[in-house]
Amino acid sequence: MKRLAVFCLACAFVVLTGGALIELGPAAIDLRGQVAAQLAASGVSHPVTAVLLNFRGYDTLLEVAVLLIALLAILAVTDKPPAAPVPAHPLLQAVARGATPAMILVAVYLLWAGAHRPGGAFQAGAVLAAAAVLLHLVGLLPGWGAPGLRLRLGLTAGFALFLALAAALLSQGALLQYPPAAAGTLILVIEAGLTVSLGLILAGLFLFLSRDEGGET
């Protein structure tokens, strides 16, 4: 009965959420015209990337900070040793080994494509994190323990780079106001750093919690 009740509630939630999305009215504020008018000065040709990394870059900076703080909170309250990998079927391990290079290539493509089509650092980082989780699930990558120096640098490098550029650009009169001639290059540098750090952070949210619990993970 409990499972049936949970299933019915889940179905009701899906129906209500779908209905709400279908009946969404027009946005109260439509900024597409303003974004399009300033797109040429943003350094990229995709409006979403222009908003996230240029026009409202400080929002993205704070989002990365929130993810990093969440991971630090996990590390602060977790004291169990990392879980030993549990080998999966050799066929699954072979599939994971074959899929990982392809996932890395997809991540690189998403990073590059973000300037002119859907993609960017968050999507690329999520794919890298998924590759790490996949390797862990098939027993090829152990759970993470206390992070060493290199892992700490990787986790914080993207946010530190973003913050350093924001501080350096304060002389322009506003936070993250890029010089138009260098905007595209600076955005690509920031997204490259964020791709690595976000991949490690998102993977860490899973792998740092994959700890020994009386032989279970």
Tens of pLDDT, residue by residue over 134-181, are 999 998 988 888 788 999 999 999 999 999 998 888 877 777 788 888
Residue 147 lies in a domain: yes
Q: Which residue spans within 65-207 are E strands per DSSP?
A: none
pLDDT the model gives residue 171: 78
Instruction: Tell me how many domains the chain contains.
Output: 1
Task: Give the C-alpha distances (Å, rounded to integers) separating 17 from 8, 12, 13, 118, 122.
Answer: 14, 8, 6, 25, 25
**What does the pLDDT average to over 60-70?**
93
pLDDT the model gives residue 76: 85
Residue 217 lies in a domain: no
- pLDDT by residue (tens digit) across 163-176? 999 888 887 777 77
Residue 171 lies in a domain: yes
According to DSSP, residue 82 is labeled: B
Residue 213 lies in a domain: no
Residue 53 lies in a domain: yes
Q: How many residues does the chain have?
A: 217
Residue 16 lies in a domain: yes
Residue 214 lies in a domain: no
**What does the pLDDT average to over 102-113?**
95
Residue 129 domain boundaries:
2-207
Residue 215 lies in a domain: no
150 within 8 A of 90, measured Cβ to Cβ: no
Q: Tell me the pLDDT band of 105, cut-offs 50, 70 and 90.
A: very high
CB atoms within 10 A of CB 170: 11
